[in-house]
Structure 1
Amino acid sequence: MRTIITMIIILFMTCVVADSAHTKIRQKRAWIIDSFTIEEECPGPFPYILGTVNLEKKFWLRYILGGSGATMNPKGVLSVNDYTGEVLVHKKVDYEEFKKLLLRLEARDKNDRVDTRLGIEIKILDINDHAPAFSNKYYETTLNESVSQGELVTTVSASDGDDPTTPNGTFRFTVASVTPKTDNVEFYISQNNNTGSVYFKGCLDYEKAKKYTVLIKATDNGDKVQLSSTSTLVLNITDQNNHLPEITGHTGPGKIKERESGVEVLRLQVTDKDRQGSPAWKAKFTLIGNQENYFKIQTDPKTNEGILTVIKAMDYEEQTSKNVSIIVENEEPYFFCKVKTRTSQGLWDVETRSTRSRTGVLILPKPYLVTIAVEDVNDPPEFVPPVRKIMIKENSLVGTLLDTLTVIDPDKTYGNSFHFVKGKDKDNWVSVDSKTGQVSVAKVMDRESPLVNHSTYSVIVYAVNKAQPPQTGTGTLVIYLADENDNVPLLVEDAVSMCLSDEKTMTNITAVDLDLPPYSAPFHYELLEDDQMQGKWKIEPNHGTTVNLVRETPVYAGHYEIKIKISDNQGYGLVQKLSITVCDCSSKPNCHVRSFISQPSLSSSVIMILAFLLLLVILLMTLTLCKKQKKTMILSDDTPGNLIMYNIEMPGTDCKVPSETAHLIQSSVKMSNGIFRQHSMLHNGSTRGSYRQNKYDMKVFSPRTTSESMSRNCAALYINDTYIKKILSKRLDQLQTLEVELCDYEPHCYANE
């Protein structure tokens, strides 16, 4: 810095000389005098002569002083005698504010022209007037008592306002005092420039001192006088686990009953010298020899006791007692430190113990042994095996022996006398002998029953012993039913429909069989044709579950009924009737869909009366329309080659029955037939009945009771049915001839008459 200032002064003087050259007045060469020094805070007396500026002069000169300390801050510190050149000091200068004073001295002649310019540097000498100052006057930190010696406690820092290049501006840290003073700890400071790291030697002990107050001193290295200051460090010690917990005893029954769980067995008492409620005091228990997980142990948070509980039922017949060991630790790992030898250099010689540390002596908790007794109680009987599986054919005879159940009593001190009781048996298919445990068929079993799930039927059986209180064992009997060919294939739908067409048409028919393979699909279909149906229908292919019913030749619109024999894979089958509806789909796309639904909720008499009245109304409307229909006929003369125009497709009646009326007639006839068939079945005996098997293995409806009065009603219904059918047949014969369609569509021209 001094070199830089000197260069600036030289440059300034050079600039002045260059500027004076323009005046063309001879002047002396500028030069720099030696530097002066002033000691800061010099007490005086003032003013005193700092020095004299000597110039070689042969004529009179006047001196003028300017710059810092004279005309600039700090003003009034220096002055110069105008005629002698003596530099005078008038007051104190603070080194911490101004470390140097740079001045400019001019010498002027009697004409007030500058003869000489000089630069003066005055250095302020520092004195030890500042003590080291700490960054903080108070420090506070916390350490666990288990921290090992040599651990950093905290770091302090300080600064000194004096010149750091002199002893006045440098300082050192020391520990001035420690409160309380204990024999187990010593604090020391390691310094690095203006910072100091505080460490400790020995062993911290919460029981000896919960808090330390350390006074730290910073002292400078002044030659004449040494100044210092202090800061306070408060070190709080937290209690750690330096005392091992110990199980002192236990309370409780120390025994359990077999098959008992969730019951408290023992309570273990623990002592610990660490601070109550702290993690160093709270107990943590571990069970040894509990591989079967019969027990668990928990800590009572209030008393710090260990609560031993049985969580898995034990069997007296397997073991009458159980030995377990218990160890207790704390939530925090155990740590112990003891000072053996104090040394002046380096760390002290200490002894450490820990349950987890890699250094020092490893401490293992001492196990506490307890014995738990198991008491015998009355055990329930046990089925061997618990689930018994039996295979039997369906439809086996009543009384057939299925199996004999086996039960044992595991008790050693109780008797083994027991009896059997049947539990869940949804349809009472089996009977169980209460003494022998024999299971027999009580009712014919049907594999196709809705109570059977995947060919299995389950029965629950209980075995009850005679002890007090009695105990019950549960067994399951799973009956696998082997299938028999006791069902024939049946049509899924017994009515199909087709559209009227000159081309070959077909529809699907499907059959199902409740039996399993090989007593079910594939089915064989055989069409039984009579003279009227000969060559009109065909089934292809004739094997499978779903086949095609093919109309090979054109037929008229109307209803047809064919007979089909459907046999299963074993040739077991039945002849069934299939109803076919053929209608004109071009005029009515949905004409082949049935337009009525039977209403079984209405009474039979009301339905018959309404149907009969409806038929009479339809017949009257048809006759009226036929009479009122205006005939349109173009008669030809006898000239050969003339065509005769008809309003029907062929000569005959020209009565046109509206398509709506014809459809209503057909539906009504079908409804009437269905109504009388239903009432013939429902009133053939009683309203209640059951299904039975006939000699053809077909399930048919069979009445349970027969009422004489109901028989008379059925006869009356049969007579009415026959009478109405005769009337309808007679009326329909009057409207159309055999195999001639009703006039239910508009006439049209043919290519060839």
Structure 2
Amino acid sequence: MNTTISSYIILLGLVCMCRMEEHVVRSKRAWIIDSFSIVEEHPGPFPYALGHINIERKYRVGFDLYGHGVDEDPKGILSIDKDTGVLTVHGKINYEEYTSLMLTFEVRNKSNLALDTKLGVNIEILDINDNPPLFQRNIYESTVSEQAMQGSFTLTVFAIDGDRPGTPNSTFDYRIISVTPNTPSAEWFIRDTGAILFKGCLDYEAAERYTIVVEAKDHGEGVQLSSSTTVLINVLDGNNHLPVITGHTGSGRVKERETGVSPLRIHVSDRDSYQTGAWRAKYTILGDVGQHFSIDTDPETNDGILTVIKPLDFEEGAERKVSVSVENVEPHFSCEVKEKTASEMWRVVTTGDEQKNSNEMDLSTVEFSIIVEDINDPPVFTVPVKEVLVKENVEIGFYVETVTAADQDLGFANEFVYAIGHDPGDWVRVDAKTGQIFTTCVLDRESIHVVNDTYTVILHATDKGDPPMTGTGTLLIRLHDQNDNVPQLVTNSVYICMMDEASVTEVAASDLDGFPYSDPFNFEILGDVEGKWRFEPNYGTTVHLVKENVVHSGLYTLLVKVSDRQGQFALQNLSVTVCDCSATPNCLFRKTTGGMGAAAIVTVLLAMLLFLGCLLLSLTASCRPEKVSIDTDCTSGDTLLKSNTETPGNDCSRIHTIEAPGMEVFDYDPHPYAFEGDFEGDSNPDLDSISIPDDDFSYDQLLDLGPRFNQLGVICKA
């Protein structure tokens, strides 16, 4: 390469010289420039002569040099003698910074300073092996599982050499120069790429960490340079040791019917790392017929805690055999070196091989005996839930059923005391010795205590053990329905509108009895109602009450007979209000034209409420077996009094006594009240004549009628 560059420079100089001769003086001129190169990091001494530029001229010439190494970086490295053309080197230069120096060379005529020659000069910097390969890191670190297969990649180291690329100085190799500790089951190696791998089997117990020193060394001529790095390989413990059951503690005894107790604690040992999946034990119960036990792992000690989760029965066996096996949470594995070969990988056997499965994966299993202690068992009803069909309304003392219990404990068989546990209506009793059940009340299918025709009784049977134990049974009394209820009107008051033709309203009935003792019903109106009132149809649960147009407005009471499918019936009064519905669709709150004001309507309402209250009071008193006294107090004439007379205060000192049915009753005769004014038109006015003008009265006024009305309400409720 140096010869090529020198030849190029000479050729370029000759061309330039020839061109200059054509323009100046055509005379023969010759000059010679040797090829130059500088060895990097030359040791000196400085300065030293690099070479001589010689140009043959008939006149004196001067030499100048410009560019890198002179007046450009790296400055001061080169200089030229202006008279002789000698090149001088003044200091060291680094190939890794400058691979060559580009310069400009000029020759001038000293007499007139005219430019004679100008050309470029390239001085090559020769590389030496002054850079070792350097690793990117001083320390590399990685983690590999103990159960990793040989040939598994761990990490890659990487180095760079700063010398000239493609030369022996920058070409290097990796090699492992030391491994600590040196385990016989594993060997580490490095590829040309810097990848570090192992062959054989890793063993956490033999080496938790490997420290590997890796060297990178170049192929430098004369001298070879190198550097090293440290690689730390942490071995993650795997499950290559099986847990072994070493013993157990605990009584090994449990009382029958007892749950939540732990009769045994099983101890294991494991050589794998503490609190890892390779160390943590997982237990399995074998031979637990009936699923009476569970076993959990103590997270701190790795013990297996056997717990009773389903009661044991002494009568089924005084001793129970259970087997417990243990393994680890993490799957078990093993690796064994069979032969170290010259090839890259050795011959090893792991748990993946079929010939090792039966041995290495064999779980540790131990059988234990659990002793069941006998205690007093509660009696057990021979039929836990017993059903019996009984007609409702049977006589008191009727025999219902007999319940029996049994006891598996010896010495207490059939010596029980029977008792009622829960009887919602107190309808039955049980014989304490025989278990026979009799009625104490009339059984009513329609009672609130009966659900879906069933009356439920809870029974107890208590033995004479120490301590006494009680068993529980259930008696379901299915009540057969009888026709002991008559149909009843759903409502006893309806309203119907005045019309030119016949008008209708709905009437409904219901019966507490079930099929076939209830609906559909037959409806009939008794009395002289032909041409006035009728039911259409008269059969069903809801029928139409038809009013003919000959019936005028007013309040009517109809005697209605409602019969069930079996002919059982009830006579009931049906109050029917006939009114004009043109002003409002509801007769109970109608408005018509008239002359009465708000005060008048309030007075009428108060009178009606007083009458209804007294009627209710008399009915209530007549149903009570004892006497009820109503004491009245004297008050001034402007206060509402508790009185049954028209003149307030004249009976304050009397005590009115209302007797029970069949006894003498003191009552006042009805007193007719006079109208405050004459009515025009109809001689028999009714409520239709009441008028409540919209601008004088609001229905909200009825909500607050003052203290006198409140006192009236208290009297009516008494």
Do Structure 1 and Structure 2 share a fold, with TM-score over 0.5? Answer: yes
Structure 1, unpaired ranges of 5+:
596-654, 690-706, 747-753
The whole-number CA distance in structure 2 between the counterparts of 1:488 and 1:21 is 151
How far apart are the structure 2 equivalents of 1:87 and 1:373? 110
Query: Aligned ranges for residues 267-278 of structure 1 at < 5 Å?
Result: 267-278=265-276
Q: Is 1:252–2:196 an aligned residue pair?
A: no
Could you tell me whether the CA contact under 8 Å between 1:391 and 1:482 is conserved in 2?
A: yes
Counterparts of 1:668-707 in structure 2 under 5 Å? 668=607, 672=611, 675-676=614-615, 679=618, 682-683=621-622, 686-687=625-626
Secondary structure at the aligned position of 1:186 is classed as strand
SS of residue paired to 2:659: helix
| Residues 1:94 and 2:33 are matched in the alignment | no
- Give 1:402's aligned residue: 400
3-state SS, counterpart of residue 592 of structure 1: helix
Asked if the contact 1:354–1:363 (Cα under 8 Å) also holds between the matched residues in 2, the reply is no
CA gap of 1:668–1:453, structure 2 versus 1, over 3 A, is same
The CA deviation string for residues 513-572 of structure 1, in whole angstroms up to 9 with x for no partner, is 111122111111111232xx5533222221222222222124444322121111112222
Deviating more after overlay: 564-573 vs 198-207: 198-207
Does the 8 A contact of 2:243 with 2:326 survive in 1? yes
Offset, 1:150: 2.8
**Counterpart-to-counterpart distance in 2, 1:12 and 1:687:** 150
Please, which of 717, 722, 726 is the counterpart of residue 666 of structure 2? 717
Alignment of 1:63-212 (within 5 A): 63-82=63-82, 85-109=85-109, 110-192=111-193, 196-212=194-210
Q: Hey, what's the Cα distance between the residues in 2 that align with 1:357 and 1:21?
A: 96
Q: 1:582 touches 1:592 (CA, 8 Å); kept in 2?
A: no
Q: Is the 8 A contact 1:387 1:478 kept in 2?
A: yes
Is the alpha carbon distance of 1:314 and 1:6 closer, same or farther for their aligned partners in structure 2, counting shifts above 3 Å? farther
| Shift in alpha-carbon separation, 1:711–1:561, aligned structure 2, 3 A | same
> Is the 8 Å Cα contact of residues 133 and 158 (structure 1) preserved in structure 2?
yes
Q: Look up the match of 2:705.
A: none
Cα distance 1:138–1:144, how it changes in 2: closer, same or farther (>3 A)? same
Aligned to 1:481: 479
Q: How many residues align?
A: 660
2:450 and 2:67 mapped to 1: Cα distance? 121
TM superposition shift of 1:712: 11
Q: Does structure 1 retain, via aligned residues, the 8 Å contact 2:481–2:514?
A: yes
1:544 maps to which residue? 540
Q: Which has the higher mean CA deviation after the structures are superposed, 415-424 or 237-246?
A: 237-246
Deviation of 1:573 (Å): 0.9
Matched residues in 2 for 1:709 and 1:79: separation? Answer: 150
Aligned residue for 2:305?
307
Change (3 A) 1:503 1:669: farther
Question: For 1:575, which of 565, 571, 583 is the aligned residue?
Answer: 571
Task: Give CA deviations for 1:193-216 in whole Å, capped at 9, x if unaligned.
Answer: xxx222233333343334333222
The answer (yes or no) to whether the contact 2:172–2:216 under 8 Å persists in 1 is yes
The CA deviation at 1:100 is: 1.0
Contact preservation (8 Å) 2:262, 2:306: yes
What is the match of residue 466 of structure 1? 464
Does the CA-based 8 Å contact 1:354-1:362 persist in structure 2? no
In structure 2, how many angstroms separate the alpha carbons of the residues matched to 1:166 and 1:149?
36
Q: Distance in 1 between matches of 2:423 and 2:12?
A: 125
Q: Deviations over 1:138-181 (max 9, x none)?
A: 22333444434333333222222211221112222222223344
**8 A contact 2:135–2:228 mirrored in 1:** yes
Q: Which of the residues 543, 560, 572 maps onto 1:564? A: 560
Separation in 2, partners of 1:164, 1:422 = 106
Q: Alignment RMSD, CA only?
A: 4.3
In 1: Cα distance, 2:580 partner to 2:3 partner: 127
State the AA in 2 paired with 1:550. Answer: V
8 Å CA contact 2:318–2:372 kept in 1: the answer is yes
Shift of 1:741: 2.8
Corresponding residue of 2:286 = 288
What is the one-letter code of the residue matched to 2:124? K
Distance (whole Å) between structure 2 residues aligned to residue 217 and residue 407 of structure 1: 91
Deviation at 1:239, TM superposition (A): 4.0
| Distance change in 2, residues 1:304/1:327 (3 Å) | same
Identity, in percent, stands at: 43
Q: Distance in 1 between matches of 2:260 and 2:587?
A: 75
- Asked if structure 2 preserves the Cα contact closer than 8 Å seen for 1:30 and 1:116, the reply is no
* Alpha carbons 1:333, 1:355 under 8 Å: kept: no
CA contact (8 A) 1:295 1:309 kept: yes
1:472-621 correspondence runs (5 A): 472-500=470-498, 502-530=500-528, 533-584=529-580, 592-593=588-589
Q: 1:220 aligns with which of 218, 221, 236?
A: 218
**Residue 324 of structure 2 aligns with which residue?**
326
Partner Cα separation in structure 2 for residue 423 and residue 369 of structure 1: 45
CA contact (8 A) 2:217 2:227 kept: yes
Assess if the C-alpha contact under 8 Å between 1:556 and 1:739 holds in 2. Answer: no
**How high is the TM-score relative to the length of structure 1?**
0.76
Instruction: Sort the Cα spacing of 1:371 and 1:98 in 2 relative to 1 into closer, same or farther, 3 A.
Output: same
Instruction: Tell me, yes or no, if the aligned pair for 1:53 and 1:85 is still in contact at 8 Å.
Output: yes
Q: Name the SS of the counterpart of 2:169 in structure 1.
A: helix
- Distance in 1, matches of 2:396 and 2:536, equals 44
Task: Name the SS for the 1:168 alignment partner.
Answer: helix
Q: 1:412 to 1:669 in 2, by over 3 A?
A: closer
Q: CA deviation at 1:740?
A: 3.4
Q: 2:644: which partner in 1?
A: none
Q: Which amino acid aligns with 2:38?
A: I
* Distance in 1 of aligned mates of 2:280 and 2:147: 17
Query: Which whole-Å CA distance do the structure 1 matches of 2:363 and 2:49 have between them?
Result: 87
Deviates more, 1:28-37 or 1:139-148: 28-37
Would you say the 8 A contact 2:245–2:364 is kept in 1? no
Aligned counterparts of 2:69 and 2:162: Cα–Cα separation in 1:
22
Counterparts of 2:41 and 2:344, CA distance in 1: 45
- SS of 2:75's partner is coil
1:456 shift after superposition: 1.0
Moved more, 286-295 or 122-131: 286-295
Q: Distance in 2 between matches of 1:334 and 1:315?
A: 39
1:640 equivalent in structure 2? none
Matched, 1:744 2:674: no
CA distance in 2, matches of 1:307, 1:568: 70
* TM-score, normalised with respect to structure 2: 0.79
Contact between 1:680 and 1:714, CA under 8 Å: does it hold in 2?
no
- Range moving further from structure 2, 456-465 or 130-139: 130-139
Aligned residue for 2:588, secondary structure, equals coil
The amino acid across from 1:439 in the alignment is I
Deviation, structure 1 residue 96: 1.5
Q: State which drifts further: 77-86 or 132-141.
A: 77-86
Shift of residue 348, structure 1, vs aligned partner: 3.4
Letter in 1 for 2:303: E
Offset, 1:33: 6.2
Give per-residue Cα distances to partners, 1:11-66, cap 9 Å, x unaligned.
Answer: 99999899979967769999996743222222345554444445565655443333
Q: 1:364 aligns with which of 349, 354, 362?
A: 362
2:42 equivalent in structure 1 = 42
Residues 211 and 667 (structure 1 numbering): CA distance in 2 closer, same or farther, change over 3 Å?
closer
Cα distance in 1 between the residues matched to 2:115 and 2:175: 60
1:443-499: per-residue Cα shift (whole Å, max 9, x none)? Answer: 221111111112111111112222222222211111111211111111122122344
| Contact 1:333-1:354 within 8 A present in 2 as well | no
**1:376 aligned residue:** 374
Give, in angstroms, the shift of residue 501 of structure 1: 5.0
Q: Return the offset for 1:99.
A: 0.8
Q: Which amino acid aligns with 2:107?
A: A
Cα 1:712–1:328, aligned 2, differ >3 Å: closer, same or farther? closer
